[in-house]
Amino acid sequence: MPKIASSFDPKSVEWRRVSDLSDKAYPVDFEYSLLGYDLATGRLDMLLRYAPGSSHCRRHRHVAATATLVLEGEQFVTDVLPDGSLGPTVHRRKGDYALAAGDAHPHNEHGGEGGGTVLLSLSTGPDGVLFEYLDDNLENGWTLSIREYVDAWERGAIHGERSAAASAAAAE
């Protein structure tokens, strides 16, 4: 089991930033850090840090079962239900812990005005898929496997980025 970091101290891990502020209603601005993984068992542990100002992570749904622990600040999660309506918003504060089964609803997720840092521990099914990302209309999904996540980390790239060709094909 490769261990990338020996501490969850936000000051001592490597952070990678993802930012797209073009949608004012859904400003994407977060950082993430890989703590460790086990490809054989489909386990991946990571940190996610929301920038201050209610910034979001990408629109997505968890395919992997996920344990969440809020380490700092706040986390807000609002499910998008199959009929397109929004479920109630879950508000988590420092110290809050949650478990979610895999194959969850797509959701909108953001930190509070002061941001937030969460520990995510994900366990994939046999296909190794962690997340499905969705476009602005919650369509044209693309998945990210644990192998793709780890490979992107090792290359110094951002996980879950779509290639220009894949984005163009989805738009057609």
Instruction: Tell me the per-residue pLDDT of 114-168, one tens digit each, with 9 for 90 and over.
Output: 999 999 999 998 899 998 888 777 777 889 899 999 999 999 888 766 543 344 4
pLDDT at 102: 84
Per-residue three-class SS string for the chain = CCECCCCCCCCCCCCEEEEECCCCCCCEEEEEEEEEEECCCCEEEEEEEECCCCCECCCEEECCEEEEEEEEEEEEEEEECCCCCEEEEEEEECCCEEEECCCCCCEEEEEEEEEEEEEEEEECCCCCEEEEECCCCCCCCEEEEHHHHHHHHHHCCCCCCCCHHHHHHHHC
- Give residue 73's pLDDT band: very low, low, confident or very high (50, 70, 90): very high
pLDDT at 105: 85
Among the listed ranges 8-17, 59-68, 142-151, which one has the minimum average pLDDT value? 8-17
More confident residue, 16 or 102: 16
* Rounded average pLDDT over 3-25: 81
pLDDT at 167: 43
pLDDT at 170: 42
Q: Average pLDDT over the chain, rounded to whole? A: 85
Specify the pTM: 0.85
pLDDT of 24 > 90? The answer is: no
pLDDT at 21: 83
pLDDT at 1: 66
Architecture of the structural domain at 16-171: Sandwich (2.60)
From the list 58, 51, 44, 105, the residue with the least C-alpha distance to 74 is 51
